[in-house]
Amino acid sequence: MKATAKLHDLGQSLWLDNITRDLLKSGTLKKYIDELSVTGLTSNPTIFEHAFKNSTLYDDSIRKKAGSAVEPLFFDLAIEDLTAAADLFKQVYDRTNGLDGWVSLEVSPTLANDTKNTIAAAKMLWAKAARPNLYIKIPGTPEGLPAIEEAIFSGVPVNVTLLFSREQYLAAADAYLKGVERRIKAGLNPHVSSVASVFISRWDGAVAGKVPAELTNKLGLAIGKRIYKSYCEYLASARVRRVCNYGAIPQRLLWASTGTKDPKASDTLYIGGLASPFTVNTMPEATLKAMADHGEVGGLLPADGGDCEQVLAAFTKAGIDLNALAAKLQVDGAASFVKSWESLIAGLGAKVGGKPVSV
């Protein structure tokens, strides 16, 4: 049995952190579903930037839109791909009663600090895509939190992105619950799905070469364990059990940024090391293939966090301010997506001769 199937049998959903028209047209995505236990996918501006640069399958659609406003064109192209993927995963969505089989579309990264326009964009994109198994990705920045709450209250499923620390995760979980509780109070169906995406590998990249050798590539997994402990406590809380009794579904934890950055480390470090039931691990295509080929699944993450606090204390002793680094990683992550977004929009603009216009 492939390691991907073992993880799935342990109760973890495996998603692909990629989307291209080539994956859809070639049947590769369908193959991953059938053979590698893939039950969903995620996207972001960087993924679409690479897709548009490295494929000719978008050229006809782009040429037909000559002179168009560029941002609406991007979302047209992205929604075309993602709705096709959503349809491919619809059988999974139906079989799991809406728990799995999701795809994700991100609002413009330029809105990361703009609550009002994030809310408007989330509602617009959700309505435009018109698929029950499509998440709208909203960053878990301070300005994004009220947008998450409002989107959930409005019935828009949300993938909360750009979370790095326990504190950021708990804030996102709180925003989700506030939206659900408002729906219950208003007499609305509280069954609105959400995932909270915690970025793992960027922690290790941020401290590479700055800590003793024995701590190399241990920070991301320790942060993951700390957050998983809080997640288990969240699932067991009276507040979550109360909303579930009204018909809500708990927000699931999603492990993101799980491709190994260090060439000296295992290429499946953040897959086997984050095995945990009722979570999602979304992984780059190369990582998914590596896990299926030679990955190993050890024990499950400990619900009590295991040795995470001792490991994190060692990083603090080595001079790493974890709270400050978490804030920096979130700011830098948002800036990185904006950079990819601007490059993507500029590239599309050059092809259609249009002017970038925000949606």
If one compares 279 and 350, the residue with the highest pLDDT of the two is 279
Cα angle 15, 16, 17; round to 5: 115
At residue 82, the pLDDT reads 98
Which helix (H) or strand (E) segment holds residue 159: the answer is: strand 158-163
User: pTM for the whole thing?
Assistant: 0.96
Residue 216 φ then ψ, to 5°: -60, 130
CA distance 90 to 132: 9
pLDDT 10s digits, 123-164: 999 999 999 999 999 999 999 999 999 999 999 999 999 999
- Going from the C-alpha of 227 to that of each of 7, 113, 169, 192, the distances in angstroms are 19, 24, 7, 23
**24-41, pLDDT tens digit by residue?**
999 999 999 999 999 999
Q: Please give the positions annotated as active site.
A: 137
C-alpha closest to that of 205 among 250, 152, 258:
258
211 Cα distance to chain centroid = 28
Q: Which helix (H) or strand (E) holds 156?
A: none
Beta bridge partners of 281: 14, 255
Cα 122 to Cα 234: distance, rounded to the nearest angstrom? 26
For the chain, domains (ranges, CATH) are: 3-350 (3.20.20.70)
